[in-house]
Amino acid sequence: CRLQFSVCLTVVFLLQLAAGVLGFVFSDKARGQVSEIINGAIVHYRDDLDLQNLIDFGQKEFSCCGGVSYKDWSQNMYFNCTATNPSRERCSVPFSCCLQDTQETVINTMCGQGMQARSYLEASAFIYTNGCIDRLVNWLHGNLLLLGGIALGLAVPQLVGILLAQILVNQIRDQIKLQLYNQQHRADPWY
């Protein structure tokens, strides 16, 4: 039982290490998964307020719009740019795609109106036209050293925990041996 604890900690550490290595090795597949997640989030943008706030935060923070480009918002039924879409937001993008004017004190939530109907060059005067997937990947590559430092910072306490657990197991084992020795020698008349 005592040894199992150290083994479990070591297995968890090795699984985390393997996940990190696999993340780097299969980064292209990870990019595909990120694309699926972002496109799924675009489709369900109006379904969940928390998701909507998360997407708006991400688009503002990374100065981007959509997955690959701003036209990805056509995947959402409200922003879909087909002629049969009765929504008032047809061919629009969320306000979080809009270029921020530092002079404005009130956010214009209709600033993305009709942007999908415009060309890339025309739209770029009003909104971010680059997709969030590339921005996110570029951010990850740019902050790889920081992410590696965080991973190392988390790994060191885990290794120390494994080492201390093993030391504790050995001390308990020694205490048990000492107790057994004392019990065997209590019958000694000189004790």
pLDDT tens digits, residue range 123-152? 999 999 999 988 887 787 777 777 777 777
Domain with 38 in it: 1-184
In a domain, 162, yes or no: yes
Mean pLDDT, residues 10-33: 73
Q: Give the total number of structural domains in the chain.
A: 1
What is the DSSP code string of 19-78?
Answer: HHHHHHHTHHHHHHHHHHHHHHHHHTTTT-HHHHHHHHHHHHHHT--SSSBGGGGGGSTT
R_g (Cα) of the chain, nearest Å: 29
**pLDDT of 14:** 83
- Mean pLDDT, the chain, whole residue set: 85
pLDDT in tens, 54-113: 999 999 999 999 999 999 999 999 999 999 999 999 999 999 999 987 787 788 888 899
Domain membership flag for residue 189: no
Residue 15 lies in a domain: yes
The pTM (predicted TM-score) of the whole model is 0.64
Q: String of b and e for 122-156 (b: at least 16 CB within 10 Å)?
A: ebeebbbbbbbbebbeeebeeeeeeeeeeeeeeee
